[in-house]
């Protein structure tokens, strides 16, 4: 069972109506073992797609957003390996970055690697700080 919890100064509390409904069934003193994941921040995904646009519009290397998206994940090492049964050859396929696949902490690790790739290989000469500032401006989070 999946419920959303919020960390407070006094501990964890249900974060929404569904979580309250579910946790009300527990007796005082009962213990639960949740699989804690930090909820994804929609602004993180927005920043990601802004970066995809920046690279698409400024690199001259890609024709579409899906190409940039796939390249980012592969270069950042966010892949799964598939073994071809007949030959044993190993193929790497870009893995998903959707909300169910990665929590916020895991996504931020992938994000850092992608920013490194952009600054070193795609748009050399732009620093991480400059890139982050441009992304934040486009997202309306900086001036």
pLDDT tens-digit profile of 32-50? 777 777 777 888 889 999 9
User: 87 and 25, same structural domain?
Assistant: no
pLDDT in tens, 3-14: 888 888 988 888
At residue 87, the pLDDT reads 94
pLDDT(141) > 90: no
User: 123 and 97, same structural domain?
Assistant: yes
User: 23 and 55, same structural domain?
Assistant: no
User: 128 and 74, same structural domain?
Assistant: yes
User: 125 and 56, same structural domain?
Assistant: yes
Q: Which domain holds residue 5?
A: 1-36
On whether the CB atoms of residues 75 and 114 are closer than 8 A, the answer is yes
Mean pLDDT estimate for the chain = 90
> Would you list the DSSP string of 98-130?
STTT--HHHHHHHHHHHHHHIIIIISTT--HHH
User: 124 and 106, same structural domain?
Assistant: yes
pLDDT: which is higher, 63 or 27: 63
User: 24 and 9, same structural domain?
Assistant: yes
User: 10 and 80, same structural domain?
Assistant: no
**Number of domain units in the chain:** 2
User: 81 and 30, same structural domain?
Assistant: no
Reported pTM = 0.75
Helix (H) / strand (E) element for 37: namely: none
Helix (H, G, I), strand (E, B) or coil at 6: strand
Backbone phi, then psi, for 81, in 5-degree steps? Answer: -100, 135
């Amino acid at each position: 069972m999946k419920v959303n919890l919020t960390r407070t100064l006094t501990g964890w509390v249900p974060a929404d109506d569904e979580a309250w409904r579910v946790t009300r069934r527990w007796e005082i003193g009962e213990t639960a073992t949740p699989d804690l994941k930090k909820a994804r921040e929609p602004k993180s995904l927005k920043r990601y797609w802004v970066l995809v646009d920046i690279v698409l519009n400024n690199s001259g290397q890609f024709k579409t957003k899906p190409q940039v998206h796939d390249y980012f994940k592969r270069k950042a090492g966010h892949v799964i390996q598939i073994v071809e049964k007949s030959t044993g050859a190993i193929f790497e396929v870009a893995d998903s970055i959707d909300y169910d696949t990665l929590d916020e902490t895991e996504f931020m690790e992938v994000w850092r690697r992608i920013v490194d790739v952009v600054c070193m290989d795609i748009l050399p000469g732009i620093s991480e700080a400059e890139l982050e500032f441009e992304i934040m401006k486009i997202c309306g989070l900086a001036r």
